[in-house]
Amino acid sequence: MGKPGPHILSRFDGEIGNFRELILDMGELALEQVELAVRANADCDMQAVSRIRNNYRSVAEMDMDMLESNIRLLAIYQPVAVDLRFLVMLSRTAYDLERIQQEALRLADIAEAHDRHRKPASDCDIFDDVNLIGEFALDILRESLQAVADASEERALEVARCPAELQDAAKAALRRLATYIMQDPRLIQSVIDATQVLKGLERIADHCVGIARNLIFAISGKDVRHLNVLNLDRAFLHG
């Protein structure tokens, strides 16, 4: 089985295409929010915090539009098989993108709190690794959105294999953070803040992997949501 082909009801094709466009628009907003969250924490940029909060007002409106589209598609066309899987995948993608934007908002709160209590001007150096882990998370988000846009199982599989590299980089960053406490115990709150940011970026990447795994299910019919990377490869090696 593969991605949905031309449907006997051209109106269904058009409406599910519109639904996917709504999802991708929300994905672009999610990308911007995560980029701003990384900048807010890595550069102590409070203007980025304000932009995240202003942008978040659009999230609820987009979420309601997508919910309405989803209900209409289910009620009118009552899709089955690959059409139903694809619609469910888009609905789950909307959920993951909304969670990503909530995570970006939480990272903005951390940046603002850190800006209030930080003491030395060099305190933001503790957040240097945020740029590195942030780029990992942003790359995974971009790839997951492109996979949805192209309905590409191959791209989705690449995203599903990404987390190990991100987790290794995050562990190394956490080890470096520990050295700051050894050098100056007064920096413990800043280290806690930076740790929370890194964990938040990991959660964002996890949502991206969820998007990719749901897409794999929509295209192939194989439920790979709970497989580790090794078993994921085996599932497709053996068909």
pLDDT surpasses 90 at 229: no
Mean pLDDT of 151-162: 90
pLDDT in tens, 12-67: 888 888 999 999 999 999 999 999 999 999 988 999 999 999 998 888 788 888 88
Residue 4 lies in a domain: no
Residue 123 domain-assigned (yes or no): yes
pLDDT at 1: 46
Residue 94 is part of which domain span?
A: 10-237
> DSSP strand E in 104-192: where?
none
Alpha helices in 43-127 (DSSP H): 46-77, 81-117
As a whole number of angstroms, the distance between CA 156 and CA 160 comes to: 6
Q: How many domains does the chain have?
A: 1
Query: What is the overall mean pLDDT for the chain?
Result: 87
User: Rounded to an integer, what distance in angstroms lies between the CA atom of residue 29 and that of residue 101?
Assistant: 8
- When pLDDT is averaged across residues 86-98 and rounded to a whole number, the result is 94
The pLDDT > 90 percentage for the chain reads 54
**Residue 3 included in any domain:** no
The average pLDDT across 177-185 equals: 88
Which CATH number covers residue 54?
Answer: 1.20.58.220
221 backbone φψ class: left, alpha, beta (φ>0; ψ -120 to 50): left
101-130 confidence digits (pLDDT tens): 999 999 999 999 988 876 555 566 788 899
Length of the chain in terms of residues written = 239
CA distance 26 to 78: 25
Residue 7 has pLDDT above 60, yes or no: no
Tell me, yes or no, whether 223 lies in a domain. yes
The model's pLDDT over 139-150, given as tens digits with 9 standing for 90+, comes to: 999 999 999 999
User: Any idea what DSSP says for residue 77?
Assistant: H
Is there a domain that residue 130 lies in? Answer: yes
Amino acid identity, position 163: P
How much is the pLDDT for 235?
58
- Give domain status of residue 5, yes or no: no
